[in-house]
A and B are shown apart, each in its own frame.
Chain A
Amino acid sequence: MPFMPVKFNSQKRVKLAQGLWLIYWLSVIVGIFIFSLGIFFKIELRKRSEMMDNNESHLVPNLLILVGLLACGINAFGGKVCHDSLDPVKFAKWKPMLKPYLMMCCGFNGLLLLTGLLCFLMQFAVYLTLAEGLKNSIKFYKDTDTPGRCFMKRTLDMTQIEFRCCGNNNFRDWFEVQWISNRYLDMSNDLVKDRVLSNVEQKYLMDSVPFSCCNPGSPRPCIQHHLTNNSAHYDYDHRIEELNIWTRGCREALFSYFSSMMSSIGILVLGTIILESADMAGLKYLTTALETMEDPENPECESEGWLLEKGVKETFGDLLTKMKTLGKGNQVDEGGDAQEAAT
């Protein structure tokens, strides 16, 4: 009792072949799109890798690139098979490869599912990497003369300007680090000496932020220094002032950027699974319809196509027994023979 049989006449078969060929080429385009999204994501990660301490995981973009390439290849092959399916001579060439091909498609769907799930789950890893990386970036902001960290200041300034954020959690992170290098501090000045000695680690701490934290939309010129001291500035109350500097933290800003990117890519990948399943179903119908033609010489005859030769339960049962026999293939021959005879 075939699973979901459908009757096909000649016209329906031709229509199915043509429609399926179009869908396969659409799938190739989707595969190319996933490949380019993978490359885009990889480039974005590389661009911000300094903010993530250079140890961000490239698993997801690499997987996307691989999946995109595989999708192109598999779907192009499927399209070729569909194109040749209406010509019995050409189709005979592809017939023996169809079963392994459909198995490969199933495996590919599994890989797509894994990729889609990773797109959502790896967001946690990105969040943790960002938290750690930004903390170090702020710490090394002043080290523009240390090789390997020369451009940290520039990168962090440009990130804060571009993403409209300040600090790790918020602007107060800047109060806890020394972000002005000792080269530019006059150590003979008493004020400087007092400030340096005022804390255990002898860091020059102050309640100021770099200029990249400034909000251009503020109606007054930017107040960067003495942020918590109301009397240092005319008509200024730091508790109600919201427009002066960016209030959002860079970790949150960067994370929302990456998470929206990863979520949309994940949804696209899950949608591709549906498309691939439709491809597989269509191909199965087409090949079974062509195989069950009563009179192979007469192209006008009717035939039946199905998804599975037996019902779902029976097919699964068969599959399980096959796997069991595969597993027992190395055991004593008598037992193996008896098993095969029983099935």
Chain B
Amino acid sequence: MAVGKLTFTKAEREKLAEVLWLLNWISVLTGAILISLGVFLKVEIQKWQEVMSDQGILYVPNTLITTGLAACCINFLGGKICLDCADTNKFLRWKLVMMPYVICTFFFTSCVLAGALMCYSIRSQLEESIFLGLRNTMRFYKDTDTPGRCYLKKTLDLLQIQFECCGNTGYRDWFHVQWISNRYLDMTSSIVVDRLRSNVEGRYLMDGVPFSCCSTLSPRPCIQQQISNSSAHFNYNQQSQQLNLWRRGCRQALMDHYTGIMQSIGLTVLLIWLFELLVLTGVRYLQTAMENVIRLGDPDSESDGWILENSLAETARSNFNIIKNLGKCYQIDDDPNINVPTASAEQEVPSRGVHIPVTS
């Protein structure tokens, strides 16, 4: 009982081969689109890699790039094969390659699906990575003289300016870190010494934020120091406070940015996967139809094409048996030509000898 059985006339087979040739070339294009999507995502992640703690996120764009390359190669080969499949004689050339080709295409199509699903599932890992990365970057903001951390200040300032955000979850995160280096603090001043002594770890904490948190939408010049003290500034009402700094946290801003990109990329890759599945189904039908034509012997006759020769359960069982027997290739088998000493070796096979009566 074949799965998805269809009958093809000669004309239908030729039409199918032509259509598949065109679809394979379109798939090469979609493969190139996959590569470019992967490269774009990689560039976007690498732009702000310094504020992310986990570098493993790059496996998503890398998967997309390798799958895209595989798509281009496999579909290029597929185009050539399908062009030859219209003619029975030329098909004989590719007969042995067809089955491995179909299996490879099936695996690579699953990789495309995996790539699409990865785009959606990486969200929580990304959020964790951004949270930890931003926390560390804020801690190292002041270390512009430490090798390896010289440019964290510049990166974080540019991030806050570009994404219109401040701090990790909000601007108050800056109140918990010392973001002014000790090199620029006058240690002889009593105010500075008091502030340093006022907390356990001896850090210079204040209710001030860097300039990059300033909102360009505010109608008044930016208030960066003594933010929580309304009496320190003239006419510092609720509305001034709301508009003064960026309200959004940078983690949220970066998450929104990357989620948007990944959702669109995921959707595009899903569509590409559906297209590849269509091409795979067509190639499978063409392969089985051409093989049946050769089996029937008459190149002009009708032939059947299917997705699976037997039902799903039987195919699974036979494949499972093949795999089981692959493992048994070094074990004893039932070949009668091999002399295998069995457990009842001492038991001789009773010979059908002539019963010679003993005449005494």
Contacts and interface: CB of A to CB of B under 8 A. Distances in A.
Interface in A198-216: 210-212, 214, 216
Contacts of B158: 216
B308 interface: no
A184 B221 contact: yes
Nearest to B151: A217
A228 interface: no
A183 B212 CA distance: 24
Contact of A222 (B145, B211, B219, B235): B211
A76 to B, nearest CB: 29
A157 B186 CA distance: 31
Contacts of A186: 234-235
Interface in A218-269: 219-222, 224, 233-235
A221 B154 contact: no
Interface residues of A, number: 30
Interface residues of B, number: 29
A153 interface: yes
Interface string A274-315: 000000000000000000000000000000000000000000
Interface on chain B toward A: helix, strand, loop, or mixed SS? loop
Nearest to B210: A221
A224 B158 CA distance: 18
A114 interface: no
Interface string A184-201: 111001000000000000
Contacts, number: 68
B114 interface: no
B358 to A, nearest CB: 113
A161 B161 contact: yes
A170 to B, nearest CB: 19
Nearest to B160: A216
A210 B145 contact: no
A200 B142 CA distance: 42
B220 A184 contact: yes
A234 B161 contact: no
B214 interface: yes
B356 interface: no
A181 interface: yes
Contacts of B211: 211, 214, 221-222, 224
Given A180-B221, A184-B234, A216-B157, A211 B214 contact: yes
A185 B180 contact: no
Contacts of B181: 220
B221 A216 contact: no
Nearest to B157: A216
A154 interface: yes
Interface in B152-204: 153-154, 157-158, 161, 179-181, 183-186
B184 A216 contact: no
A122 interface: no
Interface of B: 144-145, 150, 153-154, 157-158, 161, 179-181, 183-186, 210-212, 214, 216-217, 219-222, 224, 233-235
16 contacts: A145-B219, A153-B216, A183-B235, A184-B233, A184-B235, A210-B222, A211-B221, A212-B216, A216-B157, A216-B161, A217-B154, A219-B144, A221-B210, A222-B210, A224-B211, A235-B184
Interface of A: 144-145, 150, 153-154, 157-158, 161, 179-181, 183-186, 189, 210-212, 214, 216-217, 219-222, 224, 233-235
Across the A-B interface, the 5 shortest Cβ-Cβ residue pairs:
A216-B157, A219-B144, A144-B219, A186-B234, A234-B186
